[in-house]
Amino acid sequence: MKHQNQVVLITGAGQGMGQSIVRHFADAGANVAAVDINPQALAATVDELNGWIEGQIIAITANISQSDSVRDAIATTVEKFGRLDVIINVAGVGSIDTFIDTPDAHWDKVIGVNLTGTFLCCREAAKVMQSQGSGSIINISSTAALTGEGPSHYCASKAGVMGLTRSIARELASSGIRVNTIVPGPTNTPMMADIPEEWTQQMIDAIPLGRMGESDDIAKVASFLACDDSGFITGQNIAVNGGMAFI
């Protein structure tokens, strides 16, 4: 199978997009380190999948906005599986705030998880991958970074992820490490449940393909970026948004 024996670490694995990506890779034979801050959601995901998937899954509780926690998660992965081939940085948060009324705490949390957390995961994964001479780093941004249609902290954090990808892809290429970002449009995940229904319909109306994305749409692109089929692709931000916006 395409990901047979690959070692893949996936953050935000307890629900939504991350959970779907865990399922996709494990079913394709990968050994997966499923990482989430919520131990209950994470345990439920791993328990559900361990009965039928081809690869192995381990659950790691971690806070990706804290560097020590990220280092421990990656060390646990390498200790268990011996290497790290792919990291997929899915974990993200948001809140509905107008710019003027955004509390400092909300700004710090969204930037801390979505941008700083992605940076920390990329940095610590790259240290392992450099010693191996290979690896694939896959980040998750958002079409909101392109359109500005969303809370300022969320749009800023996701735009930062795209810039981070371009920079570190250049720096890490000589080490055999590829870095790319998937840029989803509105996708059916638990995060969307907090958005008012009329806003959701407006999003769908703005998508030329006429539907919201599904988590599996993102998982399939992650699968492509994680394998040798994309071996000459790095530093790219790939829009998966039904034609809602272009990069």
Q: Which residues are the active-site residues?
A: 154
Rounded-to-integer distance, Cα 94 and Cα 101, Å: 15
End-to-end CA distance of the chain: 32
Tell me the C-alpha to C-alpha distance, in Å, between residue 84 and each of 40, 129, 183, 197, 208: 25, 7, 23, 40, 38
**CB-CB contact of 41 with 189 (8 Å):** no
Q: In what order do the strands lie in the sheet with 86-89?
A: 57-61, 31-36, 7-11, 86-89, 135-140, 177-184, 237-240
Q: How many CB atoms lie within 10 A of CB 96?
A: 12
